Structure 1
């Protein structure tokens, strides 16, 4: 797995740890998870999203040495947790995994665009996409580290 990918996974982990801590203090709301189709829906989404990331000319370089199947699995777990599912994410924190990757705001935005394309292709309603993106947005501060 490439260093950039490891850092991406670490950054995602941090966000997940924070969400897990919050989830322990309140009853879980899995409405978004269910709206995304649960684990099967997230698996299908990531099967479309991860290859698009790797092929994207703007950000594909970050994934060139990444084991895409492992990334896909970790993203399913992470998105499951973020959306309120009962999965467990065991990857690195977002901050640690992205610390030395020199990720710019434009790189982050490109990833979001690719995710939106994948969600569109999977027929995920716009309102559900917005709810997911709102939950993922706080990761920005742990991922973007270069101007």
Structure 2
């Protein structure tokens, strides 16, 4: 039993170390939405986790943008996206990631890449059963971050 647990723990990928940076909810790039109905529409933390996992799984398979994610720490990406979405949706989570500008620095993200990412996010929200109006409110809150993510 102990050996099986030790093998399982070894199989779980860990986050890669990063240079220190100031941790702050201000890094999320926006303030939380204060509407409990929106949080419920996303089915709480579990639903947000499924939306994030679905989106990350989709972008890894999407030939338009999969190369952008190759070589990136997907364990960290999933964690900080869960925190970010939870924070923005008013779920009471703290965001421990970097600023949008710092997180996407030197990635060369273009408008078309951002569009593909949003399509994958929308597909994940639909798969989770998030109502269309709730999806739109969330996307509207994220939209101003585009200027810090798209670099060319």
> If the length of structure 2 is used for normalisation, what is the TM-score?
0.77
Q: Give, in whole Å, the separation in 1 of the partners of 2:38 and 2:96.
A: 21
Aligned counterpart, 1:10: none
Aligned counterpart, 2:148: 142
Q: Give, in whole Å, the separation in 2 of the partners of 1:68 and 1:103.
A: 17
Determine if contact 2:49/2:82 at 8 Å carries over to the other structure.
yes
Q: Give, in whole Å, the separation in 1 of the partners of 2:50 and 2:68.
A: 22
Q: Which residue, out of 116, 121, 124, partners 1:118?
A: 124
Determine if contact 1:49/1:114 at 8 Å carries over to the other structure.
yes
Q: Which residue, out of 54, 70, 73, partners 2:60?
A: 54
Aligned counterpart, 1:16: 28
Q: Give, in whole Å, the separation in 2 of the partners of 1:18 and 1:129.
A: 17
Q: Give, in whole Å, the separation in 1 of the partners of 2:100 and 2:148.
A: 6
Determine if contact 1:51/1:68 at 8 Å carries over to the other structure.
no
Please say if 1:67 is aligned against 2:73. Answer: yes
Superposed CA RMSD: 2.2
> If the length of structure 1 is used for normalisation, what is the TM-score?
0.79
CA radius of gyration, larger in: 2
Deviations 1:15-56 (A, max 9, x none): 515426xx8xxxx43332222111111011112111111111
- Counterpart secondary structure, 2:85: helix
- Counterpart secondary structure, 1:43: helix
Determine if contact 1:39/1:80 at 8 Å carries over to the other structure.
yes
Shift of 1:126: 0.8
Please say if 1:43 is aligned against 2:49. Answer: yes
Shift of 1:98: 1.4
Q: Which residue, out of 105, 108, 117, partners 1:102?
A: 108
Q: How many residues align?
A: 131
